[in-house]
Chain A
Amino acid sequence: MISIRHLTKNYGSNCALDDVSFEIQSGETVGFLGPNGAGKSTTMNILTGYLSADAGLVSVSGIDIVSDPLGAKKLIGYLPEQPPLYLDMTVNEYLKFTYELKGCTLPRGPHLDEICEVTKINDVRKRLIKNLSKGYRQRVGIAQALIGNPEVIIFDEPTVGLDPKQIIEIRNLIRTLGKNHTVILSTHILQEVQAVCDRILIINKGKIVADEKTENITRVVENNRRFNAKICGPQKETLATLKTLPGVVYAEALAEKDGDAYTYMIESEFGVDIRKKLFHTLAERGWALIGLEALGLSLEDIFITVVEKTENTVQRHTRQTGKKSRLRTKTTLESELADTLVSDAEKKKEDEAPLEEND
């Protein structure tokens, strides 16, 4: 459906996108993740024909955005980071304007009614946009993107600045849209892509650093390896004991204290369940385990790991070759995480390990 090949964009000497390539199939819901300034919005803007790339090809359903911009733009509905709303129009006027602007041929009344129904803005249709709350404005922006029933819908950070309830509603809406459309969702919130998308693309400093199915990432996330344990017993000895437990790679006493109980953070080796062993060992010593809380690996951890990992390898690579790096780390996320999410000592060791694939 969407094909992006070797996309490069520079703003002056600042390289926003560096040889970005990916494909999106029809019907997919793809999350486009990256820290601020990574090149997300630039990619979206090029994809929608708002900006032009310095090099590379973008085609939507086989139509090149540069040679036939009008044809390609017809297939795309776009909600930019800041919804493009005319504040002095009413919602109805605005939707009618976008309807005409897009040269939509669907019957106007029913089509707009349907869109307002889907985005739940029926009760504000006669109000001026400037009097609407942020959540409603965002929905009007989404409604605008839906006009003409485009095959591809692109959302650039659609939930920024909304309250939690609105965020959930917008996410549900996007999920619903994902059933009949190809959706690209750009965000820096990881739960959002996890909740909504089939596939995750991670971009950092203008490069794609990971391209994975969401379930692969979720599987890694749900593999609990870290716990907070609340144990009644002398702090020093308990900590020493925890460190000697087989399978534990890291243990630390936290500042929390509850009566005579102290809290410890324990991290185990990948794939080892230390909970039973922990219980028995503590029971032998006569220390009571009064709380055990699994610390799920947050998507933030994954994100930071992947991003930092690329930065490290790129830096090392640059040092070694002394020229601009073309390195791409497309190892599977799982194995990557397995070697990188480890204690400091191991991280150090891993730093000295040879580089992986480069091209």
Chain B
Amino acid sequence: MLAIYKKEMLSYFTNPIGYVFSGIFLLICALVCSFTTILSQSYDTSLYFTVMIFALAILIPILTMRLFAEERKLRTEQLLLTAPISLTGMVFGKFLAALTLFVGNILLSCVNFIPLYVIANKERAGNSYASTNIGPVTSELLGCLIGIILIGAAFIAIGTFISSLTENQLAASVITIGVILAFVCIGFLSNLIGAQWIRMILDFFSVLSRFDNFSAGIFDFAALFYYLSVCFVFLFLTVRVYEKRRWG
């Protein structure tokens, strides 16, 4: 597993793909952050994170599309599958590499919050009778960060699974975008439907509705289990795809 992880990390940075991902990711983060907070004169970052979740639909496939599709196309998977490693190790190695790059970029994007704190400090200093509550709420920020990392992990697992289904990277990325958007938008659908039980089911699968608690600074264990379950289900399915192909 470690060997696969290292190889994937290496290939993100020997390929342009790692740089492309980081570049686009940080650019989008910076733009969205400045538009939703500084330019709209707000310390509230929840809108920023909601927009970022949508942006992930396009960003995550860049990371995941090649994971298995490329190996399959170049027949290098034959090396991995005939090597003395388990399928689970192979899948997790690749998943963790994509996750590492994603989390690294999320952490890098935190520099966007520095101006908010700086501005808040100045505002407090210049305005002695202003309340000390001015500025971004750190607990909310941390909650949102944890939430978006969990959501990203779930999306990466979905992308990993879809990549294992095809040898065409473009198809993998387009399908991944579609599936992730479906997961994100399912919550909006529930607002339009009258029947209570359908709404409950849709809300259960909705990624956004579970993010609400995080953005309020509450660590929601139910949501944690939900996102981790999505990860494990899709990674398990990826392993099954390979099992199935061996016997097929």
Contacts and interface: CB of A to CB of B under 8 A. Distances in A.
A311 interface: no
Interface stretch (A20-28, A77-85, A180-188, A292-300): A77-85
B75 A52 contact: no
B84 interface: yes
A76 B10 CA distance: 26
A88 B12 CA distance: 10
Interface in B112-161: none
Nearest to A44: B82
A12 to B, nearest CB: 9
Contact of A73 (B11, B75, B77, B84): B84
B85 interface: yes
Contacts of A102: 83-84
Given A84-B78, A86-B11, A97 B3 contact: yes
Contacts of B85: 70, 101, 103
A49 interface: yes
Contacts of B78: 50, 78, 80, 82, 84
A70 B7 contact: no
Nearest to B14: A88
B75 A50 contact: no
Contacts of B10: 89, 93, 97
B80 interface: yes
Q: Which of B79, B81, B86 counts the most A-chain CB atoms under 10 A from its CB?
A: B79
A49 B11 contact: no
B29 interface: no
A103 B246 contact: no
B4 A101 contact: yes
Contact of B76 (A69, A78, A84, A103): A84
B82 A49 contact: yes
B191 interface: no
B246 A101 contact: no
B59 to A, nearest CB: 22
Contacts of A78: 78, 82
A74 interface: yes
B222 interface: no
B74 A87 contact: yes
Contacts of B7: 86, 97, 101
A144 B80 CA distance: 12
A100 B82 contact: no
A49 B6 contact: no
A98 interface: yes
B246 A76 contact: no
Given A49-B81, A80-B78, A100 B246 contact: no
B15 interface: yes
Contacts of B15: 88
Interface in A24-70: 48-52, 69-70
Contacts of B197: none
Contacts of B2: 100
Contacts of B11: 86, 88-89
A100 B84 contact: no
Given A51-B246, A87-B74, A98-B83, 13 more contacts: A52-B247, A70-B86, A76-B82, A78-B82, A80-B75, A84-B78, A85-B74, A93-B10, A100-B6, A101-B83, A101-B85, A103-B85, A144-B79
30 contacts: A48-B82, A50-B78, A50-B82, A52-B246, A52-B247, A70-B84, A70-B86, A71-B84, A73-B82, A73-B83, A74-B84, A76-B82, A78-B78, A80-B79, A82-B78, A84-B75, A84-B79, A86-B74, A88-B14, A88-B15, A97-B3, A97-B6, A97-B10, A98-B79, A100-B2, A100-B3, A100-B6, A101-B80, A101-B85, A102-B83
